[in-house]
Structure 1
Amino acid sequence: MTHHPPLIAVTDAELDELRSRLLHTRWPTPWPVDGWEAGTDPGELRRLVTHWASAYDWRVHEAAINALPSHYADIGGTPVHYLRFDGEHPGALPIVLTNGWPSSFLELTALARRLATPSRYGGDPADAFTVIVPSLPGFTFSPQRPSLTEPPQTHEIWHRLMHHELGFARYGAHGGDLGAGITSRLAEAHPEAVVGIHLTAVAGPPAYDAAGVTPEERAYLDSVAGWSAEEGAYMHQQSTRPLTLSYGLADSPTGLLAWIVEKYRAWSDCGGDLSSRFSDDFLLTQASLYWFTHSISTSFQPYYAYARRLTRRVERVDVPTAVALFPADLSRPPRSWAERTYHVTRYTLMPRGGHFAAHEEPGLLADDLTEFFRAHR
C-alpha cells in the first residue's frame, strides 16, 4: 500500500508564529462609524482574531483536509492539486468544479460529496458524478503560474487534466465567479469534450449594440455599475496594483482575515450576520489555508492577468449551458443577457443563497446540476 505524504503539515513553530502575530496585532485608530459601513467591523474582527489565536484548533481541520481524496498531476510542467470523488454509479459522468475568489477547493467539498454519492442524500445513484475539484493556479496547493507574460490558460490546464491525465473523453463543468469564466472558456475551446456547463455567473457579450438593449438588460447593467462603484474597490486594486496590497496581507494574518471576511459577509445570503451562514471555524480555516500556503498574493493573479488581457475573453459558448442565479450574489443577469453569449437551455432563479452557493446551499446547487446534466449523460 502506497502512503502519500500529508497534503499539509504545519509545524508547531508556524502555529506559534501565527498566534504571536495575532496577539500582537497593531490595531488602527478607531473611526467614528458604525458596524461595517466603512469596511470590516472592528468588533467582529477582534472577536474572530481572539478566537483564531486561542480557541480555534487548526490540527482538527488539518487532519480533515489531509483525509480528503487529494492527488497531484503534472500538466505540462505545472503541478496541479485536485480532489477526486468517484461516483457511486459505474456510469458516473465526470465533472470538474471550479471555485472563485476568496474561496478554495475546500468550499466545494460538500457539493462534491452530494454529486458523487447522491444516495446518501436521498437521491438516485444513477445520477452520480465522478467529481474533480482542482486548486486554481496560485491558490492553496497549486503553485502560481510560471509566467505572467505568457501564462498558461487555466481552462487548457483543466482540459489536459480531465482529458489527457484522467482519460475522460466527455465531461461536464461547473463554476462560479472566476470559476465561471474558466468554465466558459473551457466549453468554448473544447466543445467536442464538454457535454455542458453549469454556471452561477455569466460573461457578458464581447460587443453589443446599446440601442438593442432591453429595459430589463439596462436595469441589470445599471445595477452592475452601481455594485462596482460601491463594492468593486477590491477588484480594481487586485487588477491594477495587487503587489502593493500583498505586502500587508502576507505579513498580517489580521489584515488577511479582514480582507476576505468582508467579502463573505457582503456577498452571502447572511442578512448582515456572518454566523447565520458561516461558522467561525469555517472562516478561520479558509484564512488559515491562505496563510499557511502563503497564497493570498498569488490568488490575485487572475485579476491582474485578465485586466492585462493575458487571459482569453469569452466570445461565444455553444455547448448547452445552465445558469443558476442566487439572490444574494453579485448580479442576476436576465436570461436574454446570458443568451447573448451562451446556448442557455436551463435558467434558474434560486430562492436563497449567495456568492458562496456551494457552501451556503449545496443541496439546491446539487439538485440543479443533477437536473441539468440528466439530459447530457
Structure 2
Amino acid sequence: MSVAAESTDIRPFRIEVPENQLTELRRRIEATRWPSKELVTDRSQGVQLATLQALARYWMTEYDWRRCEARLDALPQFTTEIDGVDIHFVHVRSQHENALPLIMTHGWPGSVVELLETVGPLTDPTAHGGSPEDAFHLVLPSLPGYGFSGEPTGLGWGNGRIASAWAELMNRLDYPRYVAQGGDVGAAVTDAMGRQAPAGLLGIHVSLLAGAIGIKDHLPKETGPERAAMDALNVFTTDGFGYFLEQSTRPQTIGYSLLDSPIGLAAWMLDHDTDSYYKISSAFLDGHPAGNLTREHIIDNIMMYWLTGTGASAARWYWEFGREIAGGQAPPPVRVPVGFTSFPGEIWAAPRSWVETVYPDPAYFNEVDRGGHFAAWEEPDLFSAEMRAAFAPLR
C-alpha cells in the first residue's frame, strides 16, 4: 500500500485514559489556590466563587470519567488524516436504509459531548416519536485542535479549511449526498461549507448567526425583536467579549493557564454567555439542570479539554477567525439552501429579518420557545425535531 493511500485510511479509535492521569487531575483540583469572593451578587465580575467550589467538590468526590469514556467507546469512533491533521469523529449509521447523512459540528467551549444526546433521536427516530423517513446517518467530528483530533502544526486552519476538510471526510465515508449543521464555531464552519458548496452538500442549518458580528451596523433594529437582539449583541461585544478577545488575540497566553489548572480551565469555559452560565451554575448549586446540561455532562465536556491538553490549540481557532474578520472582505454567497432555528437563550436570538440579511431567502426558519447556546445538549428532542423539519425538503 502506498503512503498516499495510507494517509486516507479511516482507523477505529478508542479512548483509554491511564489512571495516573485521573489521579494527577484530582491532586491538582485539591491544590487549587482560590481567589477571594467576588464583590457583586451576579456574574458581572466573572464566574462566581460558590459555583466553582461546588463544581470542584463534585469533580473531586462524585464524578466518574470512566462513565463518559465507556459512553463514547460504545459509539463507533474513528480517526483519519486530512491535510496533515488527524481528525477524530463519531460515525453512527442509522438502521434505516434511506437515512440522510448529516455532519454536525460542535463549538467552543463544547465538544462532541454536547451533541451525544441527539444520536438516538436522529439515527433511530422510530424510537423517539419519528418515522423512518426522519432518519439520519450521523457524523460528529472533533474540530482540529479540539478533543481527540490532532493539533494543526501550521497556520491557516480557519473556517474555510475546516469546511474543506469536512467535505473530504464525507467523501471518504462514501456519502455522495449529505447535509451539515453547526452552532457556535460549528455555525461558522457550516456557513463556510454553504459558501464553498462542495459537490454533494444539499443544504445547511445553523443555530447561531455568527455573521451578525461583522455587519452589526447594517442589521435592522426597528421592531421589538430586532431591538432585543441588538441589545443582546451589544452586551456580548462589550461586556461578554472577554474570552473572545483574549482567544482571538492571545490564545497562547491563556493556554498556559488552561493546561496547568483544571479549575482555571473550568472557570474559563463556564464564563461564556449569561444564559448557559446561570444554567450550569444552577446545576451545581441547586441540583436543577437545564435539560441534559447536568453536572456529570458538564464535567464530561471539560474533561475533553483537560485530558487532551487542548486548551491553547482550541483557542487558536479564534485567532484565525479574528484575522478573517479583520480582513474585511465580503464572503461569497451561500449556494445551498439554508435553515435556521432561533433559540431564545442564544447569545443573541436572531429574528428572521437578521437571518434574511445574512442568508437571503432562507429555506427554513423557526423560532422555538426553549433552548439556549447549547441547544442540542439542553433540548435534544426539540433540536432533533428541528433537524427533521429543516432538512425534510432535501431528502
Fold-level similarity (TM above 0.5): yes
What is the aligned counterpart of 1:257 among 266, 277, 280? 266
Q: Work out whether 1:108 is the aligned partner of 2:118.
A: no
Instruction: Select between 131-140 and 343-352 the one with higher mean Cα deviation.
Output: 343-352
1:166 Cα deviation (Å)? 0.9
Partner AA of 1:367 in structure 2 = A
Counterpart CA distance in 1 for 2:87 and 2:194 is 20
CA distance in 2, matches of 1:34, 1:262: 15
Please name the residue that 2:336 is paired with: 319
Pair 1:220-2:233 in alignment: no
State the Cα deviation string for residues 294-346 of structure 1 (Å, max 9, x = none).
01111111110011229997442131111101101111222222222324021
Deviation at 1:348, TM superposition (A): 0.8
| 1:53 counterpart letter in structure 2 | M
1:169 is aligned to 176
Indicate the residue corresponding to 1:64 in structure 2: 71
Is the aligned partner of 1:353 residue 2:371? yes
1:220-259 pair list within 5 angstroms: 220-259=229-268
1:350 and 1:56 map into 2 onto residues whose CA distance is 33
Letter in 1 for 2:128: Y
Aligned AA (1:25): T
One-letter code aligned to 1:144? E
Using the size of structure 1 for normalisation, the TM-score is 0.91
Distance (Å, rounded) in 2 between the aligned partners of 1:205 and 1:355: 15
Tell me: CA distance 1:314–1:38, structure 2 relative to 1, closer, same or farther (3 Å). Answer: same
Aligned-residue offset at 1:56: 1.3
Q: What residue number does 2:164 align with?
A: 156
Partner of 2:294: 279
Matches of 2:216 and 2:238 in 1, distance apart?
23
Taking the aligned partners of 1:29 and 1:5, their CA distance within structure 2 comes to 47
**Equivalent in the alignment of 1:199:** 206
Whether 1:289 aligns to 2:304 is yes
Name the counterpart of 2:389. 371
Residue type of the partner of 2:187?
A
Whichever residue aligns with residue 94 of structure 2, its letter is G
Q: What letter corresponds to residue 234 of structure 1 in structure 2?
A: Y
Matches of 1:313 and 1:301, distance apart in 2: 22
User: How far did residue 265 of structure 1 move?
Assistant: 6.0
Aligned-CA RMSD value: 2.5
Q: Report percent identity of matched pairs.
A: 33
User: Does the CA-based 8 Å contact 2:338-2:363 persist in structure 1?
Assistant: yes
Q: Deviations over 1:266-299 (max 9, x none)?
A: 3368396234222221111111121111011111
Query: Could you tell me how far apart the structure 2 residues matched to 1:226 and 1:162 are?
Result: 38
Find the residue that maps to 2:80 and give its secondary structure.
strand
Q: Which amino acid aligns with 2:85?
A: T
Change (3 A) 1:181 1:215: same
2:257, 2:217 → 1: CA distance? 42
Contact 1:82 1:135 in 2 (8 A): yes
Cα distance change on mapping 1:203 and 1:313 into 2, 3 Å: farther
Q: Distance in 2 between matches of 1:352 and 1:271?
A: 16
Contact 1:265 1:273 in 2 (8 A): no
Q: Which amino acid aligns with 1:365?
A: F
One-letter amino acid matched to 1:51: Y
- Structure 2: any 5+ residue segments left out of the alignment? 1-10
Shift in CA distance, 339/91, structure 1 to aligned 2, threshold 3 Å? same
- Structure 1, 24-33 or 345-354: larger mean CA deviation: 24-33
Q: Does the CA contact (< 8 Å) of 1:116 and 1:128 recur in 2? A: yes
- Secondary structure of 2:208's match? coil
Aligned residue for 1:29, secondary structure, equals: coil
Map of 1:136 onto structure 2: 143
- Per the alignment, do residues 21 and 150 of structure 1 end up closer, same or farther by CA in structure 2, a change over 3 Å counting? closer
- Structure 1 gaps, min length 5: none
Given that 1:266 and 1:272 are in contact with CA atoms closer than 8 Å, whether structure 2 keeps it comes out as no
Q: May I ask how many residue pairs the two structures share in their alignment?
A: 373
- How far, CA to CA, are the matches of 1:28 and 1:370 in structure 2? 47
- Tell me if structure 1 keeps the 8 A contact 2:105–2:186: yes
Q: CA deviation at 1:223?
A: 3.4
SS at match of 1:276: coil
* Deviation digits for residues 198-243 of structure 1 (CA, Å, limit 9, x no counterpart): 1101243798796894524566344312222111111011111121
What CA distance in whole angstroms lies between the structure 2 residues aligned with 1:67 and 1:264?
32
Asked if 1 retains the 8 angstrom alpha-carbon contact of 2:345 and 2:372, the reply is: yes
- Asked if the contact 1:194–1:319 (Cα under 8 Å) also holds between the matched residues in 2, the reply is yes
Measure how far apart 1:62 and its partner are: 1.7
Q: Letter of the aligned partner of 1:246 in structure 2?
A: G
Distance in structure 2 (CA, Å) of the matches to 1:269 and 1:353: 13
Report what 2:348 is aligned to: 331
Whole-Å Cα distance in 2 between the matches of residues 325 and 155 of structure 1? 23
Q: Secondary structure at the match of 1:323?
A: strand
Shift of 1:5: 7.4
Quote the Cα distance in structure 2 between the aligned partners of 1:57 and 1:201: 32
Residue aligned with 1:95, SS: strand
Deviation (angstroms), 1:38 = 1.4
SS at match of 2:324: coil
Provide the C-alpha distance between the structure 2 equivalents of 1:344 and 1:40, rounded to a whole number of angstroms.
37
